[in-house]
Each structure stands twice: as structure tokens, then as C-alpha cells.
Amino acid sequence: MEQLPRLSFCLTDQEIKAIENARQRLGRQGVLRNRSEVIRAAIAQLEHLSDDDLLAASNRPTYLKPGRKATKAK
């Protein structure tokens, strides 16, 4: 198997819950998928959207400031 690049990104609590909800829904159908597989399935669906639908979908998520939260010095 080829070496795949690893990416890191931020998600809101709501987005994490949506991924877990999708995993549970699949599980009820007897299909077990990990988080990465659920996210990659969602990404694959983006390719089937029209330009207008893709634009509309891209406007839904809120902007997240990239990077880690600053930790307080002790």
C-alpha cells in the first residue's frame, strides 16, 4: 500500500458529533467505518455537487482560526 499523506485540521464540536452520528448510522446498518473513511466519503460526494451547490455548502461552516490555542505559562 502506498504511503498516504497525513493532514491535520480543526473541527468544531458539532462537526465531530456529525461524524460520530454518521458512523453510528452506518453501524446500525451493519457497516463499520472509522472517522477517516466517513470524512473521505463526504469528500467524494463533493465532486458530485454542481458549482452552485458546492458554493452554498462552502458558505455553511464557520471560520476557525488555525493553530493551537495558546497555553498559559505556569
Query: What are the pLDDT digits (tens) for 21-65?
Result: 999 999 999 999 999 999 999 999 999 999 999 999 999 888 877
**Residue 30 located in a structural domain:** yes
- The count of domains in the chain is 1
**Residue 28 located in a structural domain:** yes
**Residue 21 located in a structural domain:** yes
**Residue 2 located in a structural domain:** no
Within 8 A by CB and 6+ apart from 65, the residues are: none
**Residue 51 located in a structural domain:** yes
Residue of higher predicted confidence among 4 and 19 = 19
Distance CA 71, CA 35 (A): 28
